[in-house]
Structure 1
């Protein structure tokens, strides 16, 4: 009998210990849930001042009435309870909020100098959406590139460094750029460098994330069959792209908006900071990084 009591006591102790640890693990899990995954929880009360930064993909084109992804993303954010305002030195499109910083045709280094000229970073956005590099990959109708393809990630890194110098508290989402039909291999190589750059700046304590748009665009390849045998390989532009095989059309922009939105949903809740007043001028250090 005494041995049986001891056994029951041991079982009870083990059960109590197991329940205790389950409770602790549950509390840890709940704690982690509040510190990672924006879900527009407590930070939904913080207004978003978003800078769409890039080239013609950010600006938009005739197929989308020069709205790009901006209205679709705005609707998603407002629908989730966010207050949002786009900023930029440029205005295109027929949407309610059409400011942006999409410099059509410019290379990465030219975009860096453009934002130095217009001082848009002095407005201190708390979210920056960066999609650049397509023009750096362009062969310009068979002519040599303006800058070496393989050095494009370094040019991106220089731009990221300049942006973070001026806006160190901002969330910077750096895009793996959309695919296209003109130079897909170059785009893939460029995109492989994006994660390395983002990881570097994350390690320095900056709030930088990859927004992966690389599945958007490119070619659609299908294999029709007859009697279980392929009869033809059908290759066409992705329906994400306009007729030039380079720029998105509405379907592609809807997907881009979703990528931006989903990436923001996964941010830690303390990354979105309250808005800051605009600055009158850049620091000499940051100015030098923009103009280097």
Structure 2
């Protein structure tokens, strides 16, 4: 009886061992199949970029930047950075309280001509930065637009080389720690130095970095233009700018993509451009402000920002401005009085 009982237990144990082995084999097969499927779909591929793929993956376009050098990335917001993970010495962050002393450089699009308040994108950008808790002082030798902190360095009808010349008279004195640039449309409109736009912009940016050593430069591609025969040249200038930013490796320089042709969302479209073919309606100016704000936040994320030189300027540009209404200078003479009149009278388009 005892022998039979022992055989019975051994038989049961053998059965459980066999069942356990079968279960283990099935589980191993399932795991192997799952791993094969994940590898095939790319989920298990290692991230070799060393950064967050959400910020480094632009939408698909005809130009995949296959010749982009190491360290140059374009974020999902259309901001191209030429310095990889490099940070300047003494870099600081918005979270650390670094004030932004911003000089907006360019021509009539920087001035915001034909916008409702003559502030263009500048008020949108400034309000968004202040909303992030950033002390902002817009600086320059001019004042334009219905906002208190309305200083800038912009001259209607000027080309890249002309704005460069104006900058040499004021930058070293004010020492901005951030430059915001949109210029090049007048090279196209006047058909002057279109093929040298990138070269002239390179010299301009190099001057700014040298004259104000604690600065970061955000320059942008040109808006779409509906003046006859101008758009192909706008695209030519923009491509020169995209190639140019690749040269600024290990320098605090970013390119903000303003043209919708690259496939990034929320760029001014043809319908956002006013009757003169160059200046956007208020909605388009607002988009420009959003894009520049995104670029400044990207510069902050990369650690490009540095504390401005202490030269007696206020950290808050609204401080000391007692007038409730900001001074607004007159618009410069237009090359076409009829176009200017039409642009002033045009209704401001609001898109949903």
> TM-score, structure 2 length as denominator?
0.58
Write out the 4+ residue segments of structure 1 that deviate beyond 2 Å after TM superposition. 41-44, 62-65, 215-219, 267-270
Do structure 1's residue 181 and structure 2's residue 226 form an aligned pair? yes
- Pair 1:133-2:133 in alignment: no
Q: Say which of 110, 126, 145 aligns to 1:74.
A: 126
What RMSD, in angstroms, separates the aligned Cα atoms of the two structures? 3.1
Counterpart for residue 192 of structure 1: 239
Higher helix share: 1
Q: Are positions 1:115 and 2:134 aligned together?
A: no
* 2:204 paired residue number: 159
Are 2:107 and 2:155, in contact at CA under 8 Å, matched by a contact in 1?
Answer: yes
Deviations along 1:32-82, one digit per CA (max 9) or x if unpaired, are: x9x97xxxx952311111111111000111333321111111111111111
Distance 2:51 2:142 in 1: 44
2:309 to 273, 276, 290: 276
Question: Would the aligned equivalents of 1:123 and 1:277 in 2 still touch at CA under 8 Å?
Answer: no
> C-alpha distance in 2, partners of 1:77/1:83?
8
Structure 2 residue aligned with 1:43: 94
Quick one: distance in 1 between partners of 2:160 and 2:94? 32
**Residue 318 (structure 2) aligns with:** none
Query: Which ranges in structure 2 are unaligned for 5 or more consecutive residues?
Result: 1-16, 25-46, 56-83, 86-91, 261-266, 313-352
Cα distance in structure 1, aligned partners of 2:168 and 2:111: 18
Displacement of 1:160 in angstroms is 1.2
Quick one: structure 1 residues 91 and 193, their matched pair in 2 at CA, closer, same or farther if it must change by over 3 Å? same
Higher mean Cα deviation, 60-69 or 104-113? 60-69
Which residue of the partner structure matches residue 287 of structure 2?
255
Are the equivalent residues in 2 in contact too, given 1:43–1:269 (CA < 8 A)?
A: no
Whole-angstrom distance in 1 between the partners of 2:252 and 2:144: 29
Change over 3 Å in CA distance of 1:116–1:42 after alignment to 2:
closer
Structure (1 or 2) with the larger CA radius of gyration:
2
Q: Tell me what 1:230 maps to.
A: none
- CA positional deviation for 1:265: 1.8
